[in-house]
Amino acid sequence: MKKTDILQTARNVIAQQVSGLEALEDALGESFIHAVELIQNCKGRLIISGMGKSGHVARKIAATFASTGTPSHFVHPAEASHGDLGMITPDDVVMLLSNSGETAELQDIITYCTRFSIPIIAIVRRETSILVEAAKIAFILPAVAESSPVNAPTTSTTMMMAWGDALAVSVLYQRGFTNEDFGIYHPGGKLGSQLAKAESLMKPYNTLPIVSKSDGMDNVLIIMTEKSLGCALVAESDQTLIGLITDGDLRRHMSNNLIQQSAEKVMTPSPITILPSMLASEALGIMNQHGITSLCVTDNGNHLLGLLHIHDVLRAGIV
């Protein structure tokens, strides 16, 4: 096959799948709305299953729902017939994916759900099937041909995947799921790091080099050395932040009588502060803007809560 033929074949496949997605968009209607409402009001979990290619799609949809605030997991239909049906409870909603709607391996799940009045959402290609008859809500995929000449599931699985994504995101919006909520489910990796807040990375108050404004610099230097943060925080007894003493402040006040001076004389008053709810990525931007390596974390009343150091931010993978 010529290179041009290879590329044309690939473009034909993509064009066919685009046709499927366009048809899918047009086909959305009341059944989709009812599916969103059913999942939103579910007291238990969303159980998703399918066999073969449909099963692979089902796994991905289950993962998407779970990561966006809807308790969900995949149950393999073959394993369900050998004990895993016990994972499905009457409070759950079951979503079954099948090209034909007659998949033999799904029969035991269908029978179980019917017996215990567990609602089924079906995603199928055939309008008449055992699965459609048993389902509370059935969505029939548009009759768009597969991209493969041997009729291998291609366009149909693309439509299933898109339908699942649309359903998960619609439920997300209905529940008011936020970036902060998303961060809870994604503590690791790039997504989690970009959603990390200052409070999750800061050094807490009880570990900080805290001094009072009347402390002599001899004591301040000892505390700065012990804590190894390159600074000392000047605060009142009620944790109200007064100032900050950095290595730069020491250099600026270097003289023969530095040790005899008080912390108040050397400190930088009213240092830059951030709230604990600020995203660490935003805090890093502030550090870069002002050419500093740490930020004091305070509440709205300027009470010191912690210290966010640039090393902690970079260590978390935030750049």
pLDDT band with cut points at 50, 70 and 90 for residue 188: low
pLDDT tens digits, one per residue of 216-230? 999 999 999 998 888
Residues in contact with 266: Cβ distance below 8 Å, sequence separation at least 6, in sequence order: 217, 220, 245, 249, 250, 253, 258
pLDDT band with cut points at 50, 70 and 90 for residue 174: confident
Whole-number pLDDT of residue 83: 82
Instruction: Provide the CA 146 distance to its chain's centre, in angstroms.
Output: 33
Residues in contact with 22: Cβ distance below 8 Å, sequence separation at least 6, in sequence order: none
Residue 215 has pLDDT above 60, yes or no: yes
At the second CATH level, the architecture of 196-315 is: Roll (3.10)
Considering the entire predicted model, what is its pTM?
0.63
Fold classification of 3-177 is Rossmann fold (3.40.50)
Strand order in the sheet with 93-97: 72-74, 46-50, 93-97, 120-124, 137-140
Whole-number pLDDT of residue 319: 67
Distance CA 186, CA 194 (A): 10
Domain ranges of the chain: 3-177, 196-315
Say which range, 132-136, 169-173, 185-189, 201-205, has the weakest mean pLDDT.
Answer: 185-189
* Tokens representing residue 138 in the block: 């059935």
Query: In whole numbers, what is the pLDDT of the chain averaged over residues?
Result: 89
Q: Beta 294-298 vs 93-97: how paired, if at all?
A: unpaired
pLDDT band with cut points at 50, 70 and 90 for residue 195: low
Looking at residues 29-37, what average pLDDT do you find? 94
Q: In the block, which residue shows the tokens 């009001």?
A: 41
Residue 1 has pLDDT above 70, yes or no: no
pLDDT band with cut points at 50, 70 and 90 for residue 271: very high
Q: Is 163 left (phi over 0), alpha (psi -120 to 50) or beta?
A: alpha
Looking at residues 234-252, what average pLDDT do you find? 91
Tell me what percent of the residues of the chain surpass a pLDDT of 70: 93
